[in-house]
Amino acid sequence: MWIPVRIKSPSSQAELSTSAYTNSGFRAGEPTVIIPAALARALGLDMSHARVSEDYVACGGARPRVLELGEIHIRLDITDREVPWITARAICVEGEDEVLISRELMACMRIIPDYEARTWRLKDDPPDVSRGEVEPRYWTEVR
């Protein structure tokens, strides 16, 4: 389920709007967001000093190269209500070009996805509110 988000770097205060995929299969143990390298650079995050983690296991047992980027601020980019910024752990997974939100971050954001209908709502939205999936945004770099 693609949702609209704003992401802000705590160090540079750079802020960008993008879409993120809510992936209930992405279990991280804490609110976590995967930030593609191109987006990390656009936010001014210093990837040259990021810690490489060997702890991640992806689908099928693969062990991708993962950079620990530190904390990032993220919130829903919706206009019908004020939503708070949430602090999440940011990681960069080698080769990933989508922003992916862990199920723990989905819970903090109070997102309830309906994958079949391609809609989502917030936990405290009235029952008749249904928010449509947004267009995906892929962060690729031209080399």
pLDDT digits (tens, 9 = 90+) for 56-108: 555 555 555 678 899 999 999 999 999 999 999 999 888 889 999 999 999 99
Separation between Cα atoms, residue 67 and residue 46, nearest integer Å: 11
pTM: predicted TM-score of the whole model, two decimal places: 0.87
Residue 7 lies in a domain: yes
Query: What are the E-state strand segments in 59-139?
Result: 66-76, 86-93, 99-101, 111-114, 119-122, 131-132
The C-alpha atoms of residue 136 and residue 98 are separated, in whole angstroms, by 8
Q: For residue 73, give the CATH number of its domain.
A: 2.40.70.10
Could you tell me if residue 139 is inside a domain? Answer: no
Task: Say how far apart CA 16 and CA 99 lie, in whole Å.
Answer: 12
Find all residues with CB under 8 Å of 91, minimum gap 6, and list them.
32, 33, 34, 35, 53, 56, 66, 67, 68, 69
Domain count along the chain: 1
The answer to whether 46 and 108 are in contact (CB under 8 A) is no
| 64 found inside a domain | yes
Instruction: Supply the range of the domain harboring residue 6.
Output: 2-132
Do 85 and 65 form a contact (C-beta atoms < 8 A)?
no
In DSSP terms, 122 is beta-bridged to: 111
Residues 2-25 have pLDDT tens digits of: 999 999 998 877 899 999 999 777
In a domain, 143, yes or no: no
76 lies in a domain? yes
Residues forming beta bridges with residue 131, ordered by sequence position:
120
